[in-house]
Amino acid sequence: MKRASSILVVLMLLGTASIAEDASKSPALTPAQAEELVANRKGRLVLGNLAALPADIAAILARHEGELYLDHLTELTPEGAAALAKHKPVLAFGSADLSLGGLVTLSPETAAALATHPGALALKALTTLDSAPLAKKLAAQWGELQLNGLTSLSPEIAAILAKNEGVLVDRTRPGVEQRRADRLPSVLRFDSLETLSPATAAALAQQKGVLVLNGLRTLSAEVAAALAPHQGILVFNGLTTLSPETAAALASSPSEITLRGVSELPPGAAESLAKCKNTVYLSGLTTFPPEARAILSEHPKIRLPNGF
């Protein structure tokens, strides 16, 4: 009889797990299914197919103890955002507590509601960020701040984001500091920004850390000059070539400069980069005139491809 009871308990548990598993793969949830998931899951909960999120379901999911990934959502109402904003942060340095990677745009009301979320929020597909409260919330988060979906950025929002110090200290353990090996306090990344105004560039230059601008395919001398005061590491891996004027503007920067996508470097640009005081990474060069090679090979901090 005992054995039969044990088997029955196991079958009941397996049945509950199966129900929760099926619910986690559903494009929509009933309140009962949401309650089931919250009751039977801890840690990271990934609802990869969830396409609709009424406010009552959001309120239930917000009680989940662990990271909540809702990256299939393409729309979120202010009411749903307000409910999700009550989701508690997780003590795991650098990880997103709430990931909404499918949201491309946000209404002002939805952005304002998300700005009240106390944990780390990931919005990697967002193309436009024009909410100052949400920008301040993101700038204050732990870990690297990746806004790789942004296609435009105003000087005002850039100035807020530039204050990010997200990788400085692990606040999960008071008194214990977790720092990057290079001691830099911030990693701010944009992979889809194809253009920058000089004003936005000047605002971003105030960031102290690693500033990744891989979306840029061209870089004017004016924008390069606005970025030049930056202190840390500047990453432009989307650039394939540099003009002598742009190279001269970058050469005045105290930052390390990463140009791994540059495949061709004219002698004039090489001469300008030779004046850099910090390290310059040019590991992607394939076309390299002998005169340019002669100029840069003497620079102790220019990193050229193997074989050059």
**How far is residue 50's CA from residue 69's CA, in Å, rounded to a whole number?**
10
Q: Are 74 and 104 in contact (CB under 8 A)?
A: yes
Residue 217's alpha-carbon distances to 236, 237, 259, 273, 279, in angstroms, are 9, 9, 11, 19, 21
**Cβ 28 vs Cβ 37: under 8 Å:** no
In sequence order, what E strands does the chain have? 45-46, 68-69, 98-99, 121-122, 145-146, 187-190, 208-213, 231-235, 256-258, 280-281, 302-303
**Residue 144: what residue type?**
E
Please state the rounded mean pLDDT for residues 49-76: 96
State the amino acid at position 120 in one-letter form.
A
Task: Please say if the pLDDT value at position 275 is more than 50.
Answer: yes
Q: Which stretch of DSSP H or E encloses residue 222?
A: helix 221-227
Contact call for residues 36 and 59 (beta carbons, < 8 A): no
Asked if pLDDT for residue 262 goes beyond 80, the answer is yes
| pLDDT of the residue at 2 | 44
- What's the number of CA atoms in the CB half-sphere (13 Å) around residue 102? 15
Averaged pLDDT for residues 15-23: 52
The pLDDT assigned to 61 comes to 97
Q: What percent of the chain has pLDDT over 70?
A: 85
Q: How far is CA 189 from CA 161, 162, 283, in A?
A: 10, 11, 20
CA-based radius of gyration for the chain: 24
Among 24-28, 106-110, 160-164, the minimum mean pLDDT is found in 24-28
Sheet holding 187-190, edge to edge: 145-146, 187-190, 208-213, 231-235, 256-258, 280-281, 302-303
Question: Would you call 183 exposed, middle or buried from its count of C-beta atoms within 10 A (0-12, 13-18, 19+)?
Answer: exposed
For residue 17, what are its two tokens? 């797990």
Look at residue 13 and tell me whether its pLDDT is greater than 50.
Answer: no
pTM value is 0.87
Distance of CA 83 to the CA centre of its chain: 24
Task: State the pLDDT at residue 290.
Answer: 82
pLDDT at residue 300, as a whole number:
83
Q: Which pLDDT tens digit goes with each residue over 144-161?
A: 899 999 999 999 999 999
pLDDT band, very low/low/confident/very high, at 171 (cuts 50, 70, 90): low
- The predicted structure's pLDDT at residue 266: 87
Tell me what the pLDDT averaged over the chain comes to.
88
Query: How big, in percent rounded to 5, are the helix, strand and coil portions of the chain?
Result: 35, 10, 55
- Per-residue model confidence (pLDDT) at position 96: 87
Q: Does 53 or 299 have the greater pLDDT score?
A: 53
pLDDT on residue 305? 84
> What is the pLDDT confidence band of residue 277, given thresholds at 50, 70 and 90?
confident
The 10 Å Cβ neighbour count of residue 169 is 17
Instruction: Look at residue 32 and tell me whether its pLDDT is greater than 60.
Output: yes
Dihedral pair phi/psi, residue 235, rounded to 5°: -120, 120
Q: Band of the pLDDT at 244, cuts 50, 70, 90? A: very high
User: pLDDT value at position 58?
Assistant: 98
| Alpha-carbon span 183 to 53, nearest angstrom | 41
- More confidently predicted of 145 and 299: 145
- Cβ atoms within 10 Å of 49's Cβ, excluding its own: 12
Mean pLDDT of 197-204: 98
